[in-house]
Amino acid sequence: MARALISVSQDGFTYLTLNGATSRYSDTGQAMTYLGDYARETATQVPVTIDDGKQEVDVLLDETGKITPAASASPTSPPESPPESSASAAPAAMNGDTSADEATTTSAMDTTSADSQTSLQNQPDAEADDGDDYPLGTPFSGPAAPNAPRVKRTRVRKHAPHHKRSQHSRPQRLKKITVPGLVLIGIVILMIGAFVIPNIVPAGSQDSPQTIESEEQINPASELSVDKTEDVVPGFDNSPKWETKIPKDASVTASDRGVLVVDGGKLEVLDSATGKTRYSGKTSQAPTFAVDTTIDGKPALLWQAGNTAEALIDGEKKTKTYQLPEKARITSAGKSVLIKSGNRLSTFGVDGLVNVPTPESGSTPMAIENDELISSDWNGPVKAKNIKSGDERSVKLETPSDELQIIKWVSAGHGKAVTLWGEQGASTNSGHRIQLVVHSLEDGSILSTVTTTTDIVGEMSWVRGQGGKRAYIGPYLFDLESGLLLMDTSSKDIHLSEPRGTIVPCTVDNDDSCLLAGKHAYRTDTNLLALTDNGGTAIVDGKDSTIRAYEKTSDTSEK
């Protein structure tokens, strides 16, 4: 017999947990409506625990959806929130601008640079230091780590007559009440019995979320061919313009700012344009994070090793060293790096770490770019606050459809917000038809939408590529600059990896390596590290422990 838990969080919404999935509702009545429908359709009794933050009361929905007091109904203390999840493990190899971040998407912060998410996307973060309850928000691509929703007392209201909501309307938030918890629960039950149960929407009606099987593809396959190539990199000359030998067991990653080579305790940065040594130093630990970023508006290559970080700013011969806060997690979801330690936020400055003011309680910080901290509560609007002047602007996200609501924040940064939208009752693992939406962070307008299912992208990460040209989630490849969908690889058995500029490493068929350039997947064993010089140079790690750079000869990677 499935047991349901209903609680009301500090963001003013009701959360229903059933069969391991958590869904959000605008009030307790809507949650009970869903449970009544579930009980009738499955012909099973459903025990329900209603939690007002101070006390709990158990009720029982019988097979007809009617509410009866549970035999063991008695007030109990609310369950303790689970401890904060630990930061995701450091990657075995650095991947330049991204990582497989998103379970906060296992840490709600990208510890390298893709976007981390939670498998239960609507469990807001409730991490606190010294009794401080900030930040509360939701597990965006930001530093908040997942915890169970904290609850507060709310008043349940009658269902108003249903009117179609305007495109940008938001669910009305519930108000606080002062009556004792048990009185509240009694009111909840009476209101539900009088107004909710008679209005249950039958499963399969036009008003219920549409369930589709995971193997059913919603989007037609893009025009995509699988080809062979004699080129080292498709569209590039086969004669290198420079090459540099590196130690056999060295780890290497590359970006526009340089090629980072680590051999034991020795660390070297090669110039991407010439292959010559740009910087040479030592490191006590292997770097776990490396990324191109901006520091006070200046381009820089930054890497983290243990509790310290170093940045090599363009034009400088020496690095700047930073001592990171205790248990710091860093994310490059935006164009600058955001650091979180406990409830404290900071970023990298030329003269040291710069404190970043935390947003208001209920919002989750997601990224920093152009000196603005990007944050939002569950429903938006997105707030962009200048960390120097204090000026703030509000960005209201365009709604893809009146009946849809946000069920998961996937990513925010690099001028884009990526969200999943579904009908009431849909969650990240419910198998429903949903919309994957890319918004502009300038004005909130929709740049692209993809009709898909939660089974295809619900638990997937948004992975941004080197150079800020491409990003993907599941089988969907996007132009990160325009926000437009470029490719759906689902029907070709092609699995994407972190993009390198406009070329995407991938696997095809029986895990054969390939490079996706334009509309062609070329079978090749080439280990492409990066595209630099605005896509004009391809940097490759050869099997003979030699780094080589090749010049572009055609626009194959763009078609």
Over pLDDT 90: what percentage of the chain?
A: 44
Residues 6+ apart with CB under 8 A from 558: 502, 518
* Mean pLDDT value across residues 174-189: 35
Q: Do residues 214 and 431 lie in contact, with contact meaning Cβ atoms separated by under 8 Å?
A: yes
Q: In this model, does residue 271 exceed pLDDT 90?
A: yes
Between 191 and 401, where is the model more confident? 401
Cα 390 from Cα 8, distance rounded (Å): 32
Residues 6+ apart with CB under 8 A from 116: 88, 101, 102, 103, 104, 105, 106, 107, 108, 109, 110, 139, 141, 331, 461
On whether the pTM is more than 0.85, the answer is no
The number of residues making up the chain comes to 559
Output 303-306 pairs: Cβ under 8 A, ≥24 positions apart. Answer: 303/94, 303/260, 304/330
Token pair of 543 as six digits? 């099997």
Helix H or strand E segment including 37? helix 28-42
Q: Which of 22-31, 74-83, 92-101 has the highest mean pLDDT?
A: 22-31
pLDDT band at 539 (very low <50, low <70, confident <90, very high): very high
* Mean pLDDT value across residues 312-320: 94
Position 30 scores a pLDDT of: 67
Q: Do residues 35 and 61 lie in contact, with contact meaning Cβ atoms separated by under 8 Å?
A: yes
Between 238 and 342, where is the model more confident? 238
Helices and strands (H, E) in the chain, number of each type: 3, 39
Residue 357 Rama label (left phi>0; alpha psi -120 to 50; beta): beta
90-99, 304-313, 397-406: the lowest-pLDDT one: 90-99
Q: In this model, does residue 180 exceed pLDDT 50?
A: no
Q: In this model, does residue 247 exceed pLDDT 80?
A: yes
Position 139 scores a pLDDT of: 31
pLDDT band at 72 (very low <50, low <70, confident <90, very high): very low
* Mean pLDDT value across residues 133-157: 33
Position 31 scores a pLDDT of: 76
Residue 232 phi, psi (nearest 5): -60, -50
Q: In this model, does residue 264 exceed pLDDT 60?
A: yes
pLDDT band at 419 (very low <50, low <70, confident <90, very high): very high
Residue ranges covered by each domain of the chain: 4-81+152-199
Q: In this model, does residue 73 exceed pLDDT 60?
A: no
Cα 108 from Cα 393, distance rounded (Å): 24
pLDDT band at 8 (very low <50, low <70, confident <90, very high): confident
Strands 258-263 and 251-255, sheet pairing = antiparallel
Q: In this model, does residue 305 exceed pLDDT 60?
A: yes
180-184, 243-247, 547-551: the lowest-pLDDT one: 180-184
**Residue at 477: amino acid letter:** L
Cα 25 from Cα 33, distance rounded (Å): 10
Position 51 scores a pLDDT of: 80
Over pLDDT 70: what percentage of the chain?
A: 68
Q: Is the backbone peptide bond immediately before 299 cis, with ω within 30 degrees of 0?
A: no
Q: In this model, does residue 53 exceed pLDDT 50?
A: yes
Cα 471 from Cα 500, distance rounded (Å): 10
Nearest Cα to 473, choosing from 494, 459, 493?
459
Position 14 scores a pLDDT of: 74
Q: In this model, does residue 259 exceed pLDDT 90?
A: yes
Q: pLDDT tens digits for 456-490? A: 998 888 999 998 899 999 999 999 999 999 999 98
Q: Do residues 119 and 307 lie in contact, with contact meaning Cβ atoms separated by under 8 Å?
A: no
pLDDT band at 54 (very low <50, low <70, confident <90, very high): low
94-108, 451-465, 506-520: the lowest-pLDDT one: 94-108
Q: Do residues 149 and 7 lie in contact, with contact meaning Cβ atoms separated by under 8 Å?
A: yes
